[in-house]
Amino acid sequence: MKRKAVPGAGPLPDAHVARIYDALAAVIEPKSDLAYASHFELLVAVVLSAQATDKSVNAATAKLFPVANTPAALVALGEAGLAPYIRTIGLWRAKAANVVKLSRLLIERHGGAVPATRAELEALPGVGRKTASVVLNIAFGQPTIAVDTHVQRVANRLGIAATATPEATEQVLVARTPARHLLHAHHYLILHGRYTCTARAPRCPACPVARWCPARAEA
């Protein structure tokens, strides 16, 4: 049966897409590099991680969360009180304002809980499509695929997608990822991009999916 054309799909055949996911699933534990112990801590960590490394966020939240890890505690801390904990993270001023505002809104609208719908998450300050997708996936087990710079690069290098924007890449990945891998696809691709298929020096000789990759560098 001829498969339906997916706009933005790359040249890699569907059978190879499936094999790539199977191979990544065999070697990658699908979990976030961010440290968190509750839905709220996860939301705050993901908001803080925009254009910053998970390592820098973990260093900050290791000191912040023992002091304030609930919406009420963050509101009480306020922007000025939060600033010293997150000053080492990029865009910290805007993030401090957003974290305090979103904490207040969680109390006002959701009884202090993190909501489980995209619309409610994206209505919070500092929460865009990517952040909402990460929270929906990790906290609520929804098969969303957040596309960051790693996922964008890996999907295109592998020929799964031939896309220029995260939105287009997300659509292709949702359409081309086998159902059995949808839940963890984000983590497979992001962790593969972070540790193996890196931007400047991809480790092709050590890559578990090199045999299907049109962009592999010969050793």
Out of 16, 157, 184, 186, the only residue in the binding site for ligand SF4 (CB under 6 A) is 157
Q: How far apart are CA 125 and CA 186, in angstroms?
A: 23
> Using the rule CB under 6 A, is 11 a contact of ligand SF4?
no
Ranges of beta strands (E only) in 66-184 are: none
* Contact yes or no for 207/214 (Cβ under 8 A): no
Q: Identify which of 197, 50, 65 has the alpha carbon closest to the alpha carbon of residue 134.
A: 50
Q: How far apart are CA 55 and CA 180, in angstroms?
A: 30
The SS3 call for residue 9 is strand
Q: How far is the CB of 213 from ligand SF4 (least distance, A)?
A: 3
Residues between 168 and 207 with contacts to ligand SF4, criterion CB under 6 A: 196-197, 202-204, 207
Out of 9, 82, 158, 190, the only residue in the binding site for ligand SF4 (CB under 6 A) is 158
> Using the rule CB under 6 A, is 27 a contact of ligand SF4?
no
> Using the rule CB under 6 A, is 25 a contact of ligand SF4?
no
Give the C-alpha distances (Å, rounded to integers) separating 100 from 36, 116, 147, 207. 18, 20, 26, 42
4, 55, 63, 148: the catalytic one is 148
- Check if 63 is active-site: no
- The single residue listed with the structure tokens 């480790």 is 203
Give the binding range for ligand SF4 (CB under 6 A) out of 7-15, 23-31, 129-137, 211-219: 211-219
- Check if 101 is active-site: no
Q: Residue 11 is which amino acid?
A: P
55, 95, 101, 130: the catalytic one is 130
Q: Which residues bind ligand SF4 (CB under 6 A)?
A: 157-158, 196-197, 202-204, 207, 209-210, 213, 215-216
Active site residue ranges = 130, 148
